[in-house]
């Protein structure tokens, strides 16, 4: 489990691709401090397991399934990546609860500057949009962000200069793809209501109005 607060940007140093999967080695500094083999690390929002560790880098193995449903297949040697170690239960959760299990891949459709913030419009899979709520949380390439607006095709977010500097989102451009993970709470609420037969199997969009009408917020 993670918080969506990226600790640093690392860099891919090597990729070894085989029929069984891909072994990726990542250069890092901050996350190396107490990292151990077997630990979980979020790499661009994807929970991966450390399989080897050097003084300044670590390696993870990526399955063909993960490559097929995330943007990791687009990485090459030298690509920057967002890194976060698994959260500790005795620390503050600065973002929100992030599982590191990508729900879909989005595409940046616009990017513009307003004041000190950079605004992004991201097209997202339809099945994800029912979990998107204005002022709710979403994870974009491992970054916990607040949703500013939701449309029938996507959503918008904004980042401050610190986030732009510390994460890969600061260098992302129009038509670049990003890993997306919906807020866990929305998924659990939907599942619980389905089990109690309060929702049809083909669910409507769960937004702020829907939850208010049912006394859930």
- Does residue 37 share a domain with residue 108? no
Distance between CA atoms of residues 16 and 181, nearest Å: 26
Q: Is 163 inside a domain boundary?
A: yes
H helices of 28-73, in order, are 64-69
Higher-pLDDT residue of 209, 58: 58
Q: Kindly tell me if the per-residue pLDDT of 200 is higher than 70.
A: no
pLDDT confidence band for 197 (50 / 70 / 90): low
Q: Is 90 inside a domain boundary?
A: no
Which of 85, 115, 146 corresponds to the end of one domain? 85
- Does residue 132 share a domain with residue 71? no
- Does residue 185 share a domain with residue 115? yes
Query: Angle at Cα 155 formed by Cα 119 and Cα 115, nearest 5°?
Result: 15
Q: Which domain holds residue 168?
A: 104-189
Q: How far is CA 22 from CA 2, 18, 25, 73, in A?
A: 23, 6, 10, 9
- Does residue 45 share a domain with residue 114? no
Tokens of 169: 């989102």
What is the 3 state secondary structure string of 120-133? EEEECCHHHHCCCC
The 10s digit of each residue's pLDDT in 76-135 is 999 999 999 999 888 888 999 999 999 999 999 999 999 999 999 999 999 999 999 999
- Does residue 81 share a domain with residue 114? no
Q: Residue 198's pLDDT is what?
A: 58
Q: Is 196 inside a domain boundary?
A: no
Q: How large a percentage of the chain has pLDDT more than 70?
A: 94
Q: Residue 188's pLDDT is what?
A: 83
How many Cα atoms occupy the beta-carbon half-sphere of 101 within 13 Å? 6
Q: Kindly tell me if the per-residue pLDDT of 201 is higher than 90.
A: no
Q: Is 94 inside a domain boundary?
A: no
Which of 42, 58, 85 corresponds to the end of one domain? 85
Q: If you average pLDDT over residues 160-170, what whole number do you get? A: 97
Is-contact 100 45, C-beta < 8 A? yes
- For residue 14, give every residue at least 6 positions away whose Cβ sits within 8 Å of its Cβ, in sequence order, or none: 24, 25, 77
- Does residue 26 share a domain with residue 74? yes
Q: Is 81 inside a domain boundary?
A: yes
Q: If you average pLDDT over residues 15-21, what whole number do you get? A: 82
Q: Residue 35's pLDDT is what?
A: 96
pTM, two decimals, is: 0.86
- The pair phi, psi for residue 174, each rounded to 5°, is -55, 135
CATH number for 153? 2.40.30.20
- Does residue 111 share a domain with residue 35? no
Q: Kindly tell me if the per-residue pLDDT of 171 is higher than 90.
A: yes
Q: How far is CA 38 from CA 62, 100, 118, 152, in A?
A: 14, 16, 36, 40
Q: How far is CA 193 from CA 98, 132, 199, in A?
A: 22, 17, 6
- Does residue 184 share a domain with residue 137? yes
- Give the number of domains in the chain: 2
Q: Is 206 inside a domain boundary?
A: no
Q: Is 177 inside a domain boundary?
A: yes
- Does residue 127 share a domain with residue 68? no
Q: If you average pLDDT over residues 134-144, what whole number do you get? A: 97
- Does residue 139 share a domain with residue 75? no
Q: Kindly tell me if the per-residue pLDDT of 210 is higher than 70.
A: yes
Q: Which burial class, exposed, middle or buried, applies to 139 when counting CB atoms under 10 A from its CB (0-12, 13-18, 19+)?
A: buried
- Does residue 108 share a domain with residue 185? yes
What beta strand segments (E) does 55-116 contain? 57-62, 80-85, 104-114
Distance between CA atoms of residues 61 and 51, nearest Å: 7
- Does residue 111 share a domain with residue 81? no
Q: Is 3 inside a domain boundary?
A: no
């Amino acid at each position: 489990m993670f918080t969506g607060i990226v600790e640093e940007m690392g860099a891919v140093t090597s990729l070894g691709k085989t029929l069984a999967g891909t072994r990726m080695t990542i250069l890092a500094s901050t996350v190396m401090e107490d990292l151990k083999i077997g630990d979980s690390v979020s790499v661009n929002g994807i929970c991966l397991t450390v399989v080897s560790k050097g003084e300044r880098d670590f390696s993870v193995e990526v399955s063909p399934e993960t490559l097929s449903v995330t943007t990791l297949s687009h990485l090459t040697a030298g690509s920057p990546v967002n890194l976060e170690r698994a959260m500790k239960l005795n620390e503050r959760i600065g973002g929100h609860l992030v599982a590191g299990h990508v729900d879909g891949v989005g595409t940046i459709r616009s990017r513009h500057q307003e004041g000190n913030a950079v605004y992004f419009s991201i097209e997202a899979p339809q099945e994800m949009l029912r979990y998107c709520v204005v002022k709710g949380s979403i994870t974009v390439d491992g970054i916990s962000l607040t949703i500013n607006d939701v449309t029938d095709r996507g959503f918008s977010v904004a980042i401050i200069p610190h986030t732009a500097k510390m994460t890969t989102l600061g260098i992302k451009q129009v038509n670049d793809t990003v890993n997306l993970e919906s807020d866990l709470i929305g998924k659990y609420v939907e599942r619980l209501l389905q089990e109690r037969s309060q929702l049809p199997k083909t669910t409507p969009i769960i937004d702020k109005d829907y939850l208010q009408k049912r006394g859930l917020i």
